[in-house]
Structure 1
């Protein structure tokens, strides 16, 4: 395949209605694309998604148009736990999506439900950035050991800087065969972000760039500082450990879906091989995607 693009960080939901830190997150009144987010009105979805449903079919339309062959769907507490819907998505479109399951780690008894969720999904997400700083509890380590035993993938996002990096080093030592994808490019615009990137020096640890356009939003397209950060990370751990991610759909309230990767594709500061690895090849190998569709370029009406 001449052009292989895989999105290593996206979100889907049928209904967003949850509580985080005792504050409700939900769609506002019907026929609006905005959400109540920690007491503020936020544009959570593009304004034309007026029913609040961020579905696989809508995403596939964006993916096909942007020539994105496959996507990894992660989870976050602010979306609510979407296990039921994501199992349907992967069953319906097995060659296009890899979906992460998630448990409510805020509940001290979360391990009671863990065996079934781990069995059902190829990967499990832990949003450690929204958990207490000391997230690596005995119960969490028990979950990670179960995942390692069953060959599952861990998706994780950490608090800014090196706050939780020491626990990650402990986790990697305890579960040396567990495959790990660190999200949000180590929170690249925050002080100490390279400490998270450096975790990818371990053989089974990769880093994905979900949200990088959000983190550099003040600079905006074509995000030259994001390109410099990608090069800096590659110098530290190798381009073969880095993967592109969009953080769809929230990021496309500011830019189009295609813009979330073509600033990399059009950059003169990355080689063709570096772009190929970062935009698709690494994710294909890491997440184990099989045969993928070849998506033709479709002209816009404005061309």
Structure 2
């Protein structure tokens, strides 16, 4: 390959110890976690201490020839802002780290101010987690809108995962109308295997909105490699908004409990459903431009012992 690859959706953490909807998530041994009442393989089993560190990811990235990654966050991992601040400072050319506010309760605006002051260039909201049993939190609440106006003013990117289908699409439309200069990256490829997923994709018809495919191999896990259904969905999304609005993401490390990191994009490289120009855009160039990653490293191909 003669092009640079950018992962638009990955995760890092030192340990998990949190609650979501009153259910515990906690790191165990052998890559496992207690996850909402059951034991799940959260990481590949060779990550025995449960530490999903930048250094381990960089080793995977170097091997897979991935030049840079956007580190997003999720409430199921707990807030990782302190660790990600260190990662951003240590590896500025390899990672763009999103800070995360806890939008499930009041106080997101001063928290966002604090994260921006610390140097975060993007803020993540796992909006699918805002449909709480005790009452839904709307992205268009007064405090949230105040935060989005601040982010627009400071040119801070919004990374957001939405609930299935069109549940929160109207809220995003209202945010775009209020804050037209706010850059927005929508994750999980619009929850592509769920009904009405195209409604999320259509949000990228707005100038500053992009769609990233973090988790697409998880969503098409039942069909597994080479994820032909995922390729068909990518082409359908491109027909709706243009390939220049779409970006590859892996959802590392959870997805590589089932496949290798390279496999999370290799199926795209080998597909006959996309042109070489489309692959260049989807796998790296769109993300490089949108996230303003100007110093992408060039990585050599390292042969396996089995080759």
- TM score, norm. by length of structure 1: 0.98
Matched-pair contact (CA < 8 Å) for 2:108–2:147: no
**Do 2:139 and 2:172's aligned partners in 1 also have CA atoms closer than 8 Å?**
no
Residue 298 of structure 2 is aligned to residue 294 of structure 1: yes
Partner of 2:233, secondary structure, is helix
Q: 1:153 aligns with which of 153, 157, 160?
A: 157
Q: What is the total number of aligned residue pairs between the two structures? A: 301
* Counterpart among 78, 88, 91 of residue 90 in structure 1: 88
Tell me the alpha carbon deviations over residues 120-179 of structure 1, each in whole angstroms, 9 at most, x when there is no partner.
Answer: 200000111000353321111011000000001000011100011111110100000000
Query: What's the CA shift for 1:112?
Result: 2.8
What CA distance in whole angstroms lies between the structure 2 residues aligned with 1:65 and 1:18?
32
Note the 1:46-65 alignment, pairs <5 A: 46-65=44-63
In the alignment, structure 2 segments of 5+ residues that lack a partner are: none
Q: 2-side partners of 1:113 and 1:180: how far apart?
A: 19
Mapped partners of 1:176, 1:241: distance in 2: 16
Partner of 2:112: 114
Query: Take 1:56 and 1:124, find their aligned partners in 2: how far apart are those partners?
Result: 19
Q: 1:65-110: per-residue Cα shift (whole Å, max 9, x none)?
A: 0000000000000010000100111110000000000111122123
Equivalent of 2:179 in 154, 175, 181: 175
TM-superposition CA deviations, 1:43-83 (whole Å, max 9, x none): 00000001010000000000000000000000000010000
- From 186, 190, 212, give the equivalent of 2:216: 212
2:239 alignment partner, SS class: helix
For 1:235 and 1:48, the matched residues in 2 are separated by 40
Aligned-pair distance for 1:111?
A: 2.2
Aligned to 1:255: 259
**Structure 1, unaligned stretches of length 5 or more?**
none
Q: Give the 3-state SS of the residue equivalent to 2:66 in structure 1.
A: coil
> Secondary structure of 1:108's match?
coil
CA distance in 1, matches of 2:188, 2:148: 21
CA distance in 2, matches of 1:284, 1:22: 38
Quote the residue 1:4 is aligned against: 4
Per-residue deviation, 1:25: 0.3
- The residue number in structure 1 matching 2:40 is 42
- Report the RMSD for the aligned CA atoms in angstroms: 1.0
CA shift digits 1:26-53 (9 cap, x unpaired): 112xx43100000010000000001010
Structure 1 match to 2:19: 19
> What displacement does 1:7 show?
0.2
Q: Partners in 2 of 1:209 and 1:73 — Cα distance?
A: 14
Normalising by structure 2, we get a TM-score of 0.96
CA distance, structure 2, for counterparts of residue 36 and residue 187 of structure 1 = 24
- Tell me, in whole angstroms, the C-alpha distance in 1 between the residues paired with 2:111 and 2:229: 42
Secondary structure of 2:25's aligned partner: strand
CA distance in 1, matches of 2:22, 2:302: 46
Q: Distance in 1 between matches of 2:295 and 2:108?
A: 35
